A and B are shown apart, each in its own frame.
Chain A
Amino acid sequence: MTQKFRLENGGLINRDKKLSFKFNGKKYYGYEGDTLASALIANGVHLVGRSFKYHRPRGFFGAGVDEPYAIVQLYRNNETEPNIKATEQELFEGLEAKSVNCWPSVNFDIGAINNFLKIFLPAGFYYKTFMWPKSFWYRVYEPFIRKAAGLGVASTKHDKERYEHKYEYCDLLIAGSGPSGLASAYAAAKNGARVILAEDKPRFGGSLLTSDVNIGNQSGEDWANSIISELKEMPNVVVKNRSQVFGYYDHNMLVMSEKVSDHLPKTKKYHPKQRLWYIRAKEVLISSGSIERPLVFGNNDTPGVMLSSAAKEYLKVYGVLVGKNPLVFTNNDSGYETAIEFKKNGVNPIILDSRVNPQSEIIDEAINLGIKIKFSHVVVAAQGYKKVSSADIAKISDDKKQLGTLENIKCDCICVSGFWTPTIHLASQSGNKTKFKEEIDAFVPGTSKQKETTLGAANGIFTLEETLKDSFIAGQDLSKKITNNDNKISFPNVVEKKSSQHDKFWCVPLPKGKSYKRFLDFQNDVAVSDIEIALKEGYRSIEHVKRYTTLGMATDQGKTSNLNGLQLVSDIENKVVPAVGHTTFRPPYTPISIGAIVGREVGQHSKPTRKSPMHSWHEKNNAVFVDAGVWLRPRYYQQGSETLFEASKREAKNVRTNVGVCDVTTLGKIDIKGPDAAELLNRVYTNAWLKLPVGKARYGVMLREDGIVMDDGTTTRISENHYHMTTTTAQAANVLSHLEYYLQLVWPELNVNVVSTTEQWAGAAIAGPKSRKLLEKLLPNNDVSNEGLPFMGYMESELFGVKARIFRISFSGELAYEVNVESNNGQFMWEKIIELGQEFQVQPYGTEALSTLRIEMGHVAGSELDGRTISYDTSLEGLISKKKDFIGKRSLNREAFTSSDRQKIVGVVPLDKKTSIPEGSHLVKDAQAPLPNKKLGHISASCWSVEHDNPFSLAILKDGKNMIGEKLFVMSPLKNKVIPVEIVSSHYVDPKGERVRS
């Protein structure tokens, strides 16, 4: 394979390093420094895909981030990635890519039938047609559309690549390394400012790499290289290529995506594939340049029609000809620059200029080179299906309304230039209200909103001299404010050719009797006729027109289409463009990979994993773990081939008959100290706290101000002014914030300090009828009898030399104790309990058995305290003090909270005593009632009662108080179950609570 369109020499590629790659299975060669696009064009490949709606053939339109067509599926190092722009993807050895949006192949695409049926696919077609009949959507339309459409396939494999996030601060962030970026960065760096200069392409220099200019007696490219080398040597400057600043957020925070390894065949060891930079900048300089605007004519989407600036870039940077018989169609002088480059490389272009008689240095140069120029001429339509083969051209009247006789001329590419659109996305994202600049028919940034300054072409300044002057001054002034240095830099001498005024003409009228598609949005296939239909149908707001036609809604965000779309709407509506306004620019400027956004927060790194000090013991003893918030807790300890159900039943049963031990380290713990600690508790909990003696624990419930239960737990008075509060695992952080809120803001007069001690204490709950016997062994020197350590009692002790806190509290409903030791002694405590408990048949139990025990006792937990229930609903109303005020009390007399048929917690048992009841199911009166069947309540928690050996559930049921003994149905549409049940008391075991006091 020869690279037929590669010039003998020239370009910035490395011709010493030949690279092989595959496109759609066929092998080609390119050079190091190519993009996939430049290498394909060098090989004469112009058909790369199919368009989104009509499946028309697609080639290359641009040479960078603005590319609407050449999106490919990339294969690299056994991974695949969709939505890759061939114009941005750098070539590496062994690269493989495939076309997207074509089926079965790019050359024979079944969806192209849409093109012949295009009369059926006008604007709003999807909205109108696929809505009826409704059932057709799922069966017919959607599967077909899904198969035929799409811009590639996401990998379903785990992404083995590594993505990093980086946080950075700087004085000046400069987005874009063209002339304005280089000049401002240089001036600011010389003043000692901390500068980050970001360039999205691999090469620095922007337009300087392709324009014929001279700065300080050097070519533009040489000047750019010398500035960059100097900047790279400066310690206060970070220079980053392959780095796209894609989002401008509040308070001058910008986000930049750095493609660290995408240009390599394989990511190097310990390197990330991409790195996302969060940059907080004191000042931002937007030097993002401009994008050439297309001209609109018939079949202007045919492969071979491309931006003239792209043709010039392929030629000057890559040494590649986009065609050997080019036609240049322009309304300004930029097209001439491209034509001149062709001519200098031995190719004879023809220029069609819509202007009547323009005059400038550039035009003179073209004339002197002998380039054929036709003024007042336009391309009416491109001809050729998979590649341009000729063009219908015509003379156009001065008022641009009448076309002369059509003439067909042969060509193999059409390079278009409709003048330039400043890239104002970042400025607009910062909140800057943009303004329309009549002279350039485009929007430019208005008054700065944040600390941002837009320079050069992005600001609508298209001459090099003015751009460099503005940029040196901006860099100097902004850095001076920050560093107080004032290094004067002498402006270099600039030589550039003067341009003449561009033509406001941009859309070629249709010749009589022809109905060519004239495209505005090349990625979403939006044509002039679609906008016309939308306006005829009454859409006026540009935001509505955009959504109805999908103009500018593709992954390129309308970089090449927005302004022409606006221009068309304003022409039809007889308005001026600024009155139509533009749609909102939102980040990201260009698609960013999900991997980069997620960064290192994946898999085990998505959240910190918290483990108790006894974790390794659990691991060694076959614990199966479950996520409890960020904690890992043993769910059950597997013996042999036991299932979860069998193991949890065994563990729970052992607690009821012997003694079990459970790791309760994860419970939230808050240390409360100060003379007003009791007063704080009295205001926070619903029950009374002022008279709790030292050495006693009490159960408490706290509410939110709206009366809903927030959390529950026991709090123990350790000494006169010292309390130990426990919270549920899930609410630990919220309860601490809640206490801090009241102490700092509402009652600052209370002299109390609170601090989390969750991680300072390791906890073990010892529960079961034999728990006292075990405790006696653990604490042989203490009186732990029912008198010595009564229910809700507390003592401090030593457990074989280790300081321990002993609480007689119970979650299981059995006689139980909780032992706390400092975390580093947790494992020691646990092993002692297991060792000394052998004679009492002690067994560890996990969260599943813990739940079983609390459910059959009717103890409420997170599934009942779900942010919708009040004390009454959870049968905690007995803990509401009538004598004192507390947080949320005033809400409790709200009408709904006091109604006589208020929901309440009940127990639920299936009539057959066999069928398990799914959690979340609804309770209904009549299982046969038509849908929607009235819901009376829901199942909050289910277990297999080990005491009764049948299923048992808790439910929150309307008028639950009066429903005991009623027969209802549990319905679970999800599990397709209807279960007849009886409503019983929520206290299914030991309703009088005798065991805990025994």
Chain B
Amino acid sequence: MLHIKCPHCGMRSQNEFSYGGDASVKRPELNKEISDEEWDNFVYNRKSLRGKHLELWQHLSGCRQWIKVERDTATHEIFNTYKADEEIS
């Protein structure tokens, strides 16, 4: 079980969180004309990375905040966690 540092609450066990997928995905703006390809990329197409991955988790049984977690998908090493609106260098 992973040990995730919620930037709002501190170290918590994985079972308090739910996974939210790739954090780099940007939803297209509302009312904007976009191609089928762009939309498909947003809805369906995800890279299945091996290695460093910036992803979303929600601290469901805690503060209910969505957070960003930088995790290695192969080793589960967590390098850093960020608040939803935090700048990532």
Cβ-closest 3 pairs across A and B? A251-B3, A885-B30, A250-B76
Q: Assess whether B43 is interfacial by the CB under 8 Å rule.
A: yes
Q: A278-B1, A740-B64, A745-B56 are in contact. Are A431 and B75 (CB under 8 A)?
A: yes
Q: In the assembled complex, which residues on chain B have CB atoms less than 8 Å from the CB atom of A760?
A: none
Instruction: Taking A886-B30, A891-B39 as given, write out 17 further A-B residue pairs in contact, using a Cβ cutoff of 8 Å, ordered by the A residue number.
Output: A249-B1, A251-B2, A251-B3, A251-B76, A253-B3, A280-B3, A431-B75, A449-B75, A705-B42, A737-B18, A737-B58, A740-B58, A740-B66, A745-B66, A745-B84, A885-B30, A890-B34
Q: Assess whether B27 is interfacial by the CB under 8 Å rule.
A: yes
B54 to chain A, nearest CB (A): 13
Q: A251-B2, A737-B60, A744-B65 are in contact. Are A890 and B28 (CB under 8 A)?
A: yes
Q: In the assembled complex, which residues on chain A have CB atoms less than 8 Å from the CB atom of B48?
A: none
**Docked pose: A748 CA to B3 CA in angstroms:** 27
Of A449, A741, A890, the most chain B CB neighbours within 10 A belong to A890
Quick one: closest B residue to A755, CB to CB?
Answer: B64
Contact in complex: B3, A741 (CB < 8 Å): no
Q: In the assembled complex, which residues on chain A have CB atoms less than 8 Å from the CB atom of B85?
A: 748
Which residues in window 734-753 of A have CB below 8 A to B?
A: 737, 740-741, 744-746, 748
Contact with A along B24-53 (1 / 0, CB 8 A): 000110110010000100111000000000
Q: In the assembled complex, which residues on chain A have CB atoms less than 8 Å from the CB atom of B3?
A: 250-253, 280
B88 to chain A, nearest CB (A): 13
Q: Assess whether B62 is interfacial by the CB under 8 Å rule.
A: no
Q: In the assembled complex, which residues on chain B have CB atoms less than 8 Å from the CB atom of A705?
A: 27, 42-43
Q: In the assembled complex, which residues on chain A have CB atoms less than 8 Å from the CB atom of B31?
A: 884-885
**Docked pose: A49 CA to B9 CA in angstroms:** 55
Q: In the assembled complex, which residues on chain A have CB atoms less than 8 Å from the CB atom of B43?
A: 705-706, 891
A-B contact pairs, 7 of them (CB 8 A): A252-B3, A253-B3, A449-B75, A737-B18, A737-B58, A748-B85, A890-B28
Chain A residues in the interface with B (C-beta under 8 A) = 249-253, 278, 280, 431, 449, 683, 705-706, 737, 740-741, 744-746, 748, 884-886, 890-891
**Docked pose: A449 CA to B76 CA in angstroms:** 11
Q: A737-B60, A745-B56, A748-B84 are in contact. Are A250 and B65 (CB under 8 A)?
A: no
Quick one: closest A residue to B56, CB to CB?
Answer: A745
B10 to chain A, nearest CB (A): 13
Q: In the assembled complex, which residues on chain A have CB atoms less than 8 Å from the CB atom of B78?
A: 251
Contact of B66 among A741, A884, A890 (CB under 8 A): A741
Q: In the assembled complex, which residues on chain B have CB atoms less than 8 Å from the CB atom of A449?
A: 75
Tell me whether chain B's interface is mostly helix, strand or loop, or mixed. loop
B44 to chain A, nearest CB (A): 8
**Docked pose: A891 CA to B36 CA in angstroms:** 9
**Docked pose: A280 CA to B64 CA in angstroms:** 24
Contact in complex: A250, B39 (CB < 8 Å): no
Q: In the assembled complex, which residues on chain B have CB atoms less than 8 Å from the CB atom of A890?
A: 28, 34, 39
**Docked pose: A746 CA to B26 CA in angstroms:** 8
Contact with A along B3-21 (1 / 0, CB 8 A): 1000000000100001010
Contact in complex: B75, A253 (CB < 8 Å): no
Quick one: closest B residue to A704, CB to CB?
Answer: B43
Interface residues on B, range: 20 to 34
A141 to chain B, nearest CB (A): 41
Q: In the assembled complex, which residues on chain B have CB atoms less than 8 Å from the CB atom of A280?
A: 3, 13
Q: In the assembled complex, which residues on chain A have CB atoms less than 8 Å from the CB atom of B28?
A: 890
B24 to chain A, nearest CB (A): 12
Contact in complex: A250, B2 (CB < 8 Å): yes
Contact of A251 among B1, B18, B34 (CB under 8 A): B1
Quick one: closest A residue to B65, CB to CB?
Answer: A744
Contact in complex: A741, B20 (CB < 8 Å): yes
Q: In the assembled complex, which residues on chain B have CB atoms less than 8 Å from the CB atom of A740?
A: 58, 64, 66
**Docked pose: A890 CA to B35 CA in angstroms:** 10
Quick one: closest A residue to B64, CB to CB?
Answer: A740
Q: In the assembled complex, which residues on chain A have CB atoms less than 8 Å from the CB atom of B39?
A: 890-891
Quick one: closest A residue to B84, CB to CB?
Answer: A744
Quick one: closest A residue to B30, CB to CB?
Answer: A885
Q: In the assembled complex, which residues on chain B have CB atoms less than 8 Å from the CB atom of A886?
A: 30
Q: In the assembled complex, which residues on chain B have CB atoms less than 8 Å from the CB atom of A741?
A: 20, 58, 66
Contact in complex: A744, B66 (CB < 8 Å): yes
Quick one: closest B residue to A707, CB to CB?
Answer: B43
Contact in complex: B60, A683 (CB < 8 Å): no
Q: A250-B2, A737-B58, A890-B39 are in contact. Are A683 and B30 (CB under 8 A)?
A: yes
Q: A249-B1, A251-B1, A251-B76 are in contact. Are A746 and B27 (CB under 8 A)?
A: yes
Of B56, B66, B78, the most chain A CB neighbours within 10 A belong to B66
Q: In the assembled complex, which residues on chain A have CB atoms less than 8 Å from the CB atom of B58?
A: 737, 740-741
Q: In the assembled complex, which residues on chain B have CB atoms less than 8 Å from the CB atom of A891?
A: 39, 43
Quick one: closest A residue to B33, CB to CB?
Answer: A890
Q: In the assembled complex, which residues on chain A have CB atoms less than 8 Å from the CB atom of B34?
A: 890
Q: In the assembled complex, which residues on chain B have CB atoms less than 8 Å from the CB atom of A885?
A: 30-31
A49 to chain B, nearest CB (A): 37
Of A250, A252, A253, the most chain B CB neighbours within 10 A belong to A250
Quick one: closest A residue to B3, CB to CB?
Answer: A251
Q: In the assembled complex, which residues on chain A have CB atoms less than 8 Å from the CB atom of B30?
A: 683, 885-886
**Docked pose: A886 CA to B30 CA in angstroms:** 7
**Docked pose: A891 CA to B39 CA in angstroms:** 8
**Docked pose: A748 CA to B85 CA in angstroms:** 8
**Docked pose: A449 CA to B78 CA in angstroms:** 14
Q: In the assembled complex, which residues on chain B have CB atoms less than 8 Å from the CB atom of A748?
A: 84-85
A670 to chain B, nearest CB (A): 12
Quick one: closest A residue to B60, CB to CB?
Answer: A737
Q: In the assembled complex, which residues on chain B have CB atoms less than 8 Å from the CB atom of A737?
A: 18, 58, 60
Q: In the assembled complex, which residues on chain A have CB atoms less than 8 Å from the CB atom of B66?
A: 740-741, 744-745
**Docked pose: A706 CA to B44 CA in angstroms:** 8
B3 to chain A, nearest CB (A): 4
**Docked pose: A854 CA to B26 CA in angstroms:** 39
**Docked pose: A253 CA to B75 CA in angstroms:** 14
**Docked pose: A280 CA to B11 CA in angstroms:** 11
Q: In the assembled complex, which residues on chain B have CB atoms less than 8 Å from the CB atom of A431?
A: 75
Q: In the assembled complex, which residues on chain B have CB atoms less than 8 Å from the CB atom of A745?
A: 56, 66, 84
Contact in complex: B27, A250 (CB < 8 Å): no
A430 to chain B, nearest CB (A): 11
Quick one: closest A residue to B66, CB to CB?
Answer: A744
B29 to chain A, nearest CB (A): 9
**Docked pose: A740 CA to B64 CA in angstroms:** 8
Q: In the assembled complex, which residues on chain B have CB atoms less than 8 Å from the CB atom of A253?
A: 1, 3
Contact in complex: A250, B1 (CB < 8 Å): yes
Contact with A along B52-77 (1 / 0, CB 8 A): 00001010100011100000000110
B59 to chain A, nearest CB (A): 10
B20 to chain A, nearest CB (A): 7
**Docked pose: A746 CA to B29 CA in angstroms:** 9
